[in-house]
Amino acid sequence: MAEVPAGLGTGRASVSAVLDFAWDAGEFTATDVMATTSLTRSTAIDAIDTLLGAEVLRELPNARAAGSYRSGRPARRFALSADLGVVVGIDAGDTHLAVTIADPLDRTLVHHRVEIAPTQSADERRATIIEQLRAALDEAGIPRDRVLALCVGVAAPVDRMGISPPHPDGFWERTNPGLAEALRDWAPVVEIKNDAQLAAIAEGAVGAAIGCRDYVALLASERFGGGVVVDGHVLHGAHGGVGEGIMFDHIVGVGSAFGLRYAVQDQVRAAVQSREIAGDSALGRLVDRRHIDPRLVLTLAASGDADAVLITDRVGATVARIVGVLGSMYDPSRVIVCGAVAESIEPVLTAARRILPDELHLPAPEILASTLGAEVVSVGAIATARRAARERTVPRLAERRLSERP
């Protein structure tokens, strides 16, 4: 339930109930509020009037003005104000940066996605993030003081203060270059989160885990990392390290935290080098390229190419080993493979499903491909920012507006 500060008066619980109702209701009447919240008519109307006074709700034309009035006194109609502000979600990946500006309910205003060099220093990366944030707000025509909440996803563990622990090679510090401090004045609520945790939030909100209380969102394109949900709660840990992919460096049959893009590429090169795959075959000719696009291999496998099926079977064995470890540790009912690679990953998952039951003693979790594509972290960041706006920023905004009234 939304936080409602004491400044909103003695009917805090009723105001909170009406505000929570308004977020999901669209247009509504006092009768609608009564039916859902069990408030009396007078209490519901008092709470609605309080929120109208704070300009958090707006009154719509009544049924007569809207053309649907027939007889009797037309009911007053209300909706959440359209002028509360915006939320911002940022996916600050290792090689990409996506900035999304959205309203607090359901509409995306601007979405920018650019490639960035993984060789950027921490200072350069921080400056790029702020520059792209400013550009996205300018495009949306939104002044900085109308940002209600901001959430950033980074490829690093993040503690509850938004700080990443030191990494032996400095990777986590570069991925999260002091963003909690750098962005703290950009919104009343600023949250820095691990990208896999945001993927899990996205899958639970609008993806393949709706209604599921135990699942893992496995980010798998560039690096492996798991967002873990147990009993309906996203697991975090003391330093935000639950599901951190470094564990896969130590697992026989996986051997690296690098994701499926690299697993496919390495398997193709190894098979051509060992002459299991002919160098002049459709797949063999790909090894001359600096980078092998995994989607080409997966598309060939889906079409029945025997060489590509060999590769997807081997990569599927790797995925089965990863899911087996996650299944033994967290006992999820589903593991959802996320990221840009998910849209074409089905041949790999077919092999993984066949192998998985031998990898663990518990019942095997269902393995699914995410439908949210490369934007899964952005979706989770916006969902997190919207929740922060709903539960924290807007109630405080209402208090401030009421206190400023003469």
Confidence of residue 168 (pLDDT cuts 50, 70, 90): confident
The pLDDT of residue 10: 45
With residue 42 as reference, give the H or E element that holds it: helix 41-53
Q: What is the CATH number of the domain that holds 300?
A: 3.30.420.40
Identify whether the C-beta of residue 341 lies closer than 8 Å to the C-beta of residue 294.
yes
Q: Is residue 399 part of a domain?
A: no
The pLDDT of residue 324: 93
The three-class DSSP label of residue 153 is strand
- CB atoms inside a 10 Å sphere around CB 41: 11
What's the predicted TM-score (pTM) here? 0.91
Domain match, 130 and 43 both: no
Confidence of residue 132 (pLDDT cuts 50, 70, 90): very high
What is the rounded distance in angstroms from the CA atom of residue 35 to the CA atom of residue 21?
Answer: 11
Domain match, 154 and 65 both: no
Domain match, 71 and 91 both: no
DSSP secondary structure string for all residues of 126-142: HHHHHHHHHHHHHHHT-
Confidence of residue 145 (pLDDT cuts 50, 70, 90): very high
Q: Of the candidates 83, 114, 148, which is a domain's last residue?
A: 83
Containing structural domain, residue 43: 6-83
Q: Is residue 162 part of a domain?
A: yes
Q: Is residue 398 part of a domain?
A: no
Domain match, 195 and 237 both: no
Q: What is the CATH number of the domain that holds 24?
A: 1.10.10.10
Domain match, 142 and 282 both: no
Tokens representing 72 are 């009797």
Domain match, 223 and 362 both: yes
DSSP class of residue 184 equals T
Q: Nearest to residue 41, comparing CAs of 25, 30, 52, 53?
A: 30
Q: Is residue 404 part of a domain?
A: no
Residue with tokens 């924290």: 392
Domain match, 184 and 269 both: no
Q: What letters, b where the CB count within 10 A reaches 16 and e where it falls short, cover 153-162? A: bbbbbbbeeb
Q: Nearest to residue 29, comparing CAs of 84, 1, 82, 66?
A: 66
Q: Domain tally for the chain?
A: 3
276-330 residue pLDDT tens: 999 889 888 888 877 888 888 999 999 999 999 999 999 999 999 999 999 999 9
DSSP class of residue 13 equals H
54-94 residue pLDDT tens: 999 999 987 555 555 555 567 899 999 988 999 999 999 98
